[in-house]
Structure 1
Amino acid sequence: MSQEFKVGLTWRALFAIITAALLFIPINLYLNLVTGGTIAIAALYVIAILFSEFSRIAGSPLTMNEIFVIYSSMGAVVASLPPYYWLVYRAFYVNTPVTFAFKIHGVPLPYLVPDWLAPPYGDPVYHLRTLMHPAWAKAIAVATAFFLLTLLADVSLGILFSYLFVEVEKLPFPFAQIDYSLIETITERRSEHVRMFLAGFYPGLIYGALLYTGQALGIQIIPLPWADLTWLTEKYMPGALIGFATDPSSFVLGIMLDPSTTGLMLLGSATVWIFLNYLFTVDPRYFPVWAQEYYKGMTIATIYQRSFQRIWIAPQFGIALGLAAGLIIALRKSIVRTFKLLVSSRGSARPSHFPPFTLILAMFLTGSLGSVALHHVLIPEIPLYISLLTSTVISFFIAMIASRAIGEIGFFPSMPWPWQAIVYFTPYEGYAGWVQAPYISLGAQGSMCQAVKVAYLTQT
């Protein structure tokens, strides 16, 4: 793609990113701790629109390139949680009475949490309610190291596959056009596009204000993240998961998909969470532990959590592996072509805006092998070859398949706990090895490649 690119990372874009991060990351942390959800999609649109309007009022409108940088950067920021979030989570985990009910070889789980994950149970630091304390130093250092090594490996694979699939193969990336259309609408403000945009923007603004403002004030105007109907249906279908997702991020992407696709997704969801959950509840022959554990009055969140653990976690592992195998088979020619491109690209000329292949390889090996070494020092009970294969070979394939799938069909399924699935098939018996993984790609490279595709469309 021979295009003339323009700079988008200006002081105005950087100021917008920092300001938005300071505003929305704490909100995301709080919502995730309280509801398990985030406001990722809503935050993206609000940030882009607000800063665009502020700059327009000031008499110096943001360029399309600046809006792209704000939009794509904040997409990465608000869609993820900072690594120190898990320190707060583990502080709760170590101290809640619930976790003492679960044991490994007769030892309650809180006593198995090493000090590099969280201070031990009973440490006075928990009464101080702060992370700025020497007792947290080791856990903060380990979390920071894993975060930086993971970021290095993820970004290197993202750069590699962006070059292969955007620059060389020129894959379509169906959803990149949607991102580009939003950026174009905000920037150029064509009347026909603005009218369509505002027709959905104002209802969404009102809905979001009612949904999140009430939650922030402690008043439930609209239930978040679900409107629970199980209290009405439990008499007739006990165990069925019946309700409506109220968080826009749960359904807004479905509006963009083909109705046949969303219809099949609805059918599959209803089959699993309504009819099969009901069947396995009333007939204890299939899953007796779940049938015994269920009681009338369970909320939709509790039914989901407990039935997922007792029934659906193993099938989802299998489905994820089967889907990955299906994608490999369906994209086998593309995958072979990718390896050929990878080999041929090592000695060929490359665009100046992509780093050298040797630098990309060095970044990936530093991140992946560094995380393997640190993981082995902390948890030597897990075989080294398991961590090594996971961080290098498996992660490379996941990143490649995710990038290819996003580039060709616009979709890559989320992978539920791939590291835990791997550990399950090892002889490891402990706690730390389950919750702390070496580097493993979760498919974020697909989104990175799509962002690069949008960068080409906006000539940034």
Structure 2
Amino acid sequence: MGLLKVQAELEEYRRLMEPPPPEEFEEGFSVRTILGALFVAFVMLPGAAYLSLVTGAGLGSAPQWVTVILFMEVARRSFITLKRQEIYLLYIVAGAILGANPYSGYIWNVFLRTSQVTKGLGVADDIPTWLVPRADSPAILQRTFFHSDWLIPIAISLALLLLTRASGFAAGYILFRITSDYERLPFPLAPVGAQGATVLAEISRKEETWRWRYFSIGAMIGLAFGLFYAGIPTITGALMNRPLQLIPIPFIDLTQNTESVLPATPIVIATDLGGLLVGFVVPFWAAVGGFIGSLIPAVLNPLLYRGTFGTVYLRNWRPGLDAIQTEMLNQYDFWLSARIGAGLGIAAIGITSAIMLALRETRRIRRRTDQEERLPL
């Protein structure tokens, strides 16, 4: 009975998460979409960069929904009804602009150039000038991007952005067809965005359904949490020498408390509400796999530090370091190269499996074609 009840609840959840099918196909690209993109670029982009550097985490999809809700309210007061296609396209455009935010990367690179941590490791001066200007450059001393020393880093980032977009349109489409049409993998977070666009389109047409109630509850939960998580530290940081953090940002650091049991292992508890809510949406085994993956460094780091495998790999770690320092040293000593190797291995497995799947599908289609040709007329 318990298993049947769980299955029934899952089916009910899937039914609710499926948006209603469109009655007709309409164009979503309009002047309103362009104005929304400009608003994101000039207003939301700097705010997202600032908060990502202050809190150590991005805003996620919050700026996208703020843009959509703002334009929806402006449209309602102008007696204009936004179509679902326009709302979702505006949501996608906002995500694309915020996802390609280069400004926070420039500021982060400046921090790496001038940080006491990188200077203590002796790598601050080894950072190439095509990534960030030198520490004594007027561009850094005067805190400005309008300097010739930034020309090469900005040009390289723009080239990388162009290549990323090109690969996203090409390889991204191929991978989507493989995962969606051949492997038929679920996309658990995709219905969330679709439901958000659907509920806002319903409100634009002055139709309130159960989706709007759930959307409002989630918005109020996020607003209350954001007030304590990022609002109070931001306000008090502008008024006092040290900001008041009721909730540690971005995590609770337990590394120094557990270093006697788990040396060279950063132990933290994330305080971001988004990760908790995503855990309610992703498939069960995806959450289990993520949990197991997070335990692998906790098991291997003490062994790598003690030289269990014949060589001491984590040589630079010392007791008393916090999670950020421990993670940075571990990345330099071992995990950076290990992740590169693991990424190459996963890529090889994925490419091989995709090729084998395509070959099997080709043979199946060829056999079916041969059978149809042998049929008598």
TM-score, normalised on structure 2?
Answer: 0.72
1:316 pairs with one of 320, 339, 347: 339
Deviation at 1:162, TM superposition (A): 8.9
User: Aligned ranges for residues 102-251 of structure 1 at < 5 Å?
Assistant: 110=125, 113-114=128-129, 116-148=130-162, 150=163, 153-154=166-167, 156-157=169-170, 161=174, 174-175=187-188, 176-189=190-203, 190-217=208-235, 218=237, 219=243, 220-251=245-276
Say which is worse superposed, 312-321 or 62-71, in terms of deviation: 312-321
Tell me, yes or no, if structure 1 residue 259 matches structure 2 residue 284: yes
- Quick one: which of 57, 63, 69 aligns to 1:49? 69
2:114–2:124 contact (8 Å) kept in structure 1:
no
The CA distance in 2 between the partners of 1:135 and 1:308, in whole Å, is: 29
Task: Confirm or deny that 1:303 pairs with 2:326.
Answer: yes
- Residue 276 of structure 1 is matched in structure 2 by 300
Asked if structure 1 preserves the Cα contact closer than 8 Å seen for 2:135 and 2:141, the reply is no
Q: Which protein has the larger Cα radius of gyration, Structure 1 or Structure 2?
A: 2
Give the direction of change, closer, same or farther, for the CA distance of 1:291–1:167 in structure 2 (3 Å limit).
closer
Contact kept? 2:115, 2:124, Cα under 8 Å: no
User: Alignment partner of 1:174: what SS?
Assistant: coil
Give me the whole-angstrom Cα distance separating, in 1, the residues matched to 2:59 and 2:185: 28
Q: Distance in 1 between matches of 2:332 and 2:287?
A: 26
Q: Secondary structure at the match of 2:280?
A: helix
What SS does the aligned partner of 2:327 have?
helix
How far, CA to CA, are the matches of 2:106 and 2:361 in structure 1?
39
Paired residues for 1:259-408 under 5 Å = 259-270=284-295, 272-281=296-305, 283-286=306-309, 288=312, 290=314, 293-296=317-320, 298-336=321-359
Q: Distance in 2 between matches of 1:278 and 1:172?
A: 36
Structure 2 SS opposite 1:223: coil
Paired residues of 2:259 and 2:319 also in contact (CA < 8 A):
no
Tell me, yes or no, if structure 1 residue 73 matches structure 2 residue 93: yes
Task: Return the alpha-carbon distance in structure 1 between the equivalents of residues 111 and 226 of structure 2.
Answer: 29
Is 1:39–1:249's contact at 8 Å kept on the other side of the alignment? no
Query: Aligned partner of 2:217: which letter?
Result: A
Runs of 5+ unmatched residues, structure 1? 341-460
CA drift at 1:77: 1.8
* Residue 222 of structure 1: how far off its partner (Å): 1.7
* Residue type of the alignment partner of 2:279: G
The alignment covers a number of residue pairs equal to: 329
Measure the CA separation in 2 of the matches of 1:163 and 1:307. Answer: 34
Q: Work out the CA distance in 1 between the residues paired with 2:110 and 2:362.
A: 45
* Corresponding residue SS for 1:180: helix
The alpha carbon displacement at 1:285 in A equals 4.1
Match among 29, 45, 64 for residue 84 of structure 2: 64
Q: Pick from 19, 34, 50: which aligns with 2:39?
A: 19
Number of the residue aligned with 1:347: none
Q: Which residue of 1 aligns with 2:50?
A: 30
Counterparts of 2:116 and 2:361, CA distance in 1: 51
Q: Percent sequence identity over matched residues?
A: 24
TM-fit CA distance, 1:121? 4.8
C-alpha distance in 1 between matches for 2:169 and 2:289: 36
Calculate the aligned-residue CA RMSD, in Å: 3.7
User: 1:53 deviation in Å?
Assistant: 3.7
TM-score by length of 1: 0.60
The answer to which structure, 1 or 2, has the higher relative contact order (CA under 8 A, 6+ apart) is 1
Shift of the alpha carbon at 1:305? 2.2
Gaps of 5+ in 2: 1-21, 238-242, 364-377
Are the counterparts in 2 of residues 241 and 277 from structure 1 also a CA contact under 8 Å? Answer: no
- In the superposition, relative to structure 1, how do residues 339 and 27 fare at CA in structure 2: closer, same or farther (>3 Å)? farther
Asked whether the equivalents of residues 328 and 335 of structure 1 are also in contact (C-alpha less than 8 Å), the reply is: no
What is the DSSP-based 3-state SS (H/G/I as helix, E as strand, rest coil) of the residue aligned with 1:227? strand
